[in-house]
Structure 1
Amino acid sequence: MRRDRVLDWLLEADQPSIRYLTQTRLLRKSETDPDVRDAKARIPTTGWAAEILARRDPGGWWVRDGHPMYPKYVSTNWNLLALSDLGATCAIPEVRKSCEHWMGKSPLKGGGVGGMSKGKGHHCYTGNMARALIRFGYGDDRRVRKALDWLVRTAHPKGGWTCWSFGDGPSPARTLDSWEGLSAFVAYPRSKWTRSMKDCVEKGAEFYLDRELHRQGARYEPWYRFHWPVHYYYDLLVGLDILTALGYGDDPRLGYALTHLRKKQRSDGRWNLDAVRPEVRPSDPGKGPIPLAFETARRPSKMITLRALTVLSRVG
């Protein structure tokens, strides 16, 4: 399958979210283009975004009106994270109502959003939530700005975050798994970054680049399996997407990850979804909670292919 045929596949009408993102990210069409406007208008009524919205309670939540993280992978938090990947915005009334519900039900302390931490700020939850809300159109909301400031304030002094540090002080450790903080600043317009945000992002990026996006301790196989929705798991495509979006596409320290990405490309030009949950081998999928899934593991994936081509389009 040649590149033009891959693009035709991504532009198929069955998934207007993928069609919209392909037009804007790969074909560089403007938001005012008639084809872009048509695809965007169909997002809430057709395809994966429509499936998510169809499962939504009229009160604004998914599954139950409790903490947005629970039950894991299928409740409000997880559905909204997936919606934010699909080009949905708060111009859709159901999305706006659910965002307000999400923020209202999430324990807040000092700008950080609490998950399992009984109200104390949690880096992964806060970064994910801030990224999604910015994509939805809440970038100027004071609650989102407080979350971004909290991420800066609680970053490790040398850059990066950890998944297991709760509170308002600097992170005592850092891990490649805690990518969500950087992703929030990818979504936030660079023109609005403060000096402290810029310094935080640059240090965080160096943490990943110095480790070539994968070198931290013993080899951890889930980091090499491409997956979506990403929820809060890390893989090399997640790292590449973030670092190239931040402008590091020409940095030679991306070499290993880019080679890994290119090796995974199929002979027809597409990429597979390696796993729905990367920490569980595709051959043994029955462990733990079942996350949201929109595509089939070990089969060609429109989302993974779109993200892979987007990364390669940013590389010199």
Structure 2
Amino acid sequence: MDVPTWLLDSDPAIRWQVLRDLTDAPAETVTSERARVATTGWGSRVLDLQGADGQWEGGAYFPEHYDQPGQPWTATAFSLQFLRELGIDPSESLVRSAVERVRENSHWEYDGSRFFDGEVEPCINGLTVGIGAYYGMRVAGVVERLLGEQLDDGGWNCEAENGSVRSSFHTTIAVLDGLREYEVAVSGSEAVALARRRGHEYLLDRHLMRRLNTGEIVNEEWLQFSFPPRWHYDVLRALDYFRASGARYDPRMDEALTLVEGKRGADGRWLLENTHTGGVHLEMEDGDGKPSRWNTLRAMRVLRWFGRDAATSP
């Protein structure tokens, strides 16, 4: 199979990232394809689903009326996260208008705070910072709160307010992802850079999957790759985060990179695994156990970035 051609035979959200990350296409080609995300395919469909109240699903995170099994991935926070993962251009007028409507109308169910002022849990606030920074919203106050909540081991945990002193992989990757986006938008914060370096060490010291004290794998589900990952941690999500951060190869990534290599099928593709239960706006792929363009793209660009690109050749 010609894997790059298969990847390009897809939605603009995948096409532009393949062009940028795997083919080294000219910048103008990448930009032109990215612009189509807001007007064609998945990105356009999700934008069209924004409600008259400026929200998706009528709520920020867990709308009161939601009655489907699993998490409401259709709520406002996850809809904006999904559009960010598609790489929708935040400067497009349709996108700016949608985000302004969220800023003016959406409030967290927990305490009624305005959406871009953040909530109380660091996992949700990491998501908020990532979304806000990407779309050009002011989230400095939320960032300051997160910096003050970093634990001694270098990570974060939503259960810290209940006495936990050990970090969570789930919460840590959410906060790191948000702080990375904030650094892209607002450069020059040594405090943010230091917090991220400490967070990186938290993950790397655990080889992205293991307990520090026993060396045991923390959760076997983290060895399976889903897309979108939502708030969940997995090894491919962590590696793709390090790639997006411009991180250099570290020997403590070896086990994780080998895991990704080992999941490549005989036809050069990776499968979708462990899809997280909950309502969705649309189905992008054929389901777990089937070839996944998203996982294939992400695995190939991770291996390429960290010098394992020979393993991704079709």
**CA apart distance, 1:30:** 5.1
The aligned runs of 1:288-299 (5 Å cut-off) are 289-291=278-280, 293-295=283-285, 296-299=287-290
* Residue of structure 1 in register with 2:305 after alignment: 314
Match of 1:282 in 2: none
2: CA distance between counterparts of 1:294 and 1:195? 39
CA offset at residue 291 of structure 1? Answer: 4.5
Return the match for 2:41 from 47, 67, 73. Answer: 47
- CA distance in 1 between counterparts of 2:164 and 2:89 reads 32
For residues 40-63 of structure 1, the C-alpha deviation after alignment (integer angstroms, 9 at most, x for no partner) is 222123222122123222442222
Give me the whole-angstrom Cα distance separating, in 2, the residues matched to 1:149 and 1:312.
34
Normalised by the length of structure 2, the TM-score is 0.82
Q: 1:218 to 1:309 in 2, by over 3 A?
A: closer
Note the 1:195-206 alignment, pairs <5 A.
195-206=190-201
Q: How does 1:86-165 map to 2 (within 5 A)?
A: 86-103=86-103, 104-106=106-108, 107-108=112-113, 113-114=118-119, 121-136=120-135, 138=136, 141=137, 143-165=138-160
CA distance in 1 between counterparts of 2:42 and 2:300 reads 20
Going from structure 1 to structure 2, the CA distance change for 1:199 and 1:189 (only over 3 Å counts) comes to: closer
Give the stretch that moved more between structures: 263-272 or 71-80. 71-80
Q: Provide the residue aligned with 1:284 in structure 2.
A: none
Instruction: Mark the CA change 1:132 to 1:306 in structure 2 (over 3 Å): closer, same or farther.
Output: farther
Match among 179, 182, 187 for residue 188 of structure 1: 182
Amino acid at match of 1:73: W
How many residues get paired? 286
CA deviations 1:202-233 (Å, max 9, x no partner) are 11000000000001366412211100111100
2:26 aligned with 1:36: no
1:276–1:291 Cα contact (<8 Å) kept = no
One-letter amino acid of the counterpart of residue 311, structure 1: V
In structure 2, list runs of 5 or more residues that go unmatched.
67-71, 308-314
SS at 1:60's partner residue?
Answer: coil
Residue type matched to 1:92 in 2? E
Structure 1 or 2: larger helix share?
Answer: 2
Does the CA contact (< 8 Å) of 1:63 and 1:74 recur in 2? yes
CA shift digits 1:14-67 (9 cap, x unpaired):
401111111122233454x1x223312221232221221232224422222x33
Whether 1:82 and 2:82 are equivalent positions in the alignment is yes
Residue matched to 1:118: none
Superposed displacement of residue 130, structure 1: 1.6
Residue 133 of structure 1, CA deviation? 2.8
Q: Shift of residue 272 of structure 1?
A: 0.9
Q: Is the 8 Å Cα contact of residues 226 and 235 (structure 1) preserved in structure 2?
A: yes
- Cα separation, 2, equivalents of 1:245 and 1:307: 11
Aligned residues of 1:10 and 1:306 also touching (Cα < 8 A): yes
Shift of 1:164: 2.3
After the TM superposition, which segments of 4 or more aligned residues of structure 1 sit over 6 Å from their partners? Answer: none
CA RMSD of aligned residues (A): 2.6
Tell me how far apart the structure 1 counterparts of residues 160 and 284 of structure 2 sit (CA, whole Å): 32
Identify if the C-alpha distance between structure 1 residues 246 and 38 changes in structure 2 by more than 3 Å, giving closer, same or farther: closer
Q: Give the TM-score of the pair, scaled to structure 1.
A: 0.81
Shift of 1:196: 1.1
2:202 maps to which of 193, 207, 215 = 207
Contact 2:107 2:113 in 1 (8 A): no
Counterpart CA distance in 2 for 1:59 and 1:127 is 24
Cα distance between partner residues in 2 of 1:29 and 1:144: 33
> Structure 2: how far apart are the matches of 1:163 and 1:177?
9
The amino acid that maps onto 1:196 is: A
CA distance in 2, matches of 1:221, 1:291: 25
Q: Counterpart of 1:299 in 2: which secondary structure? A: coil
Bigger drift between 99-108 and 244-253 goes to 99-108
The gaps in structure 1 that reach 5 residues or longer are 115-120, 278-287
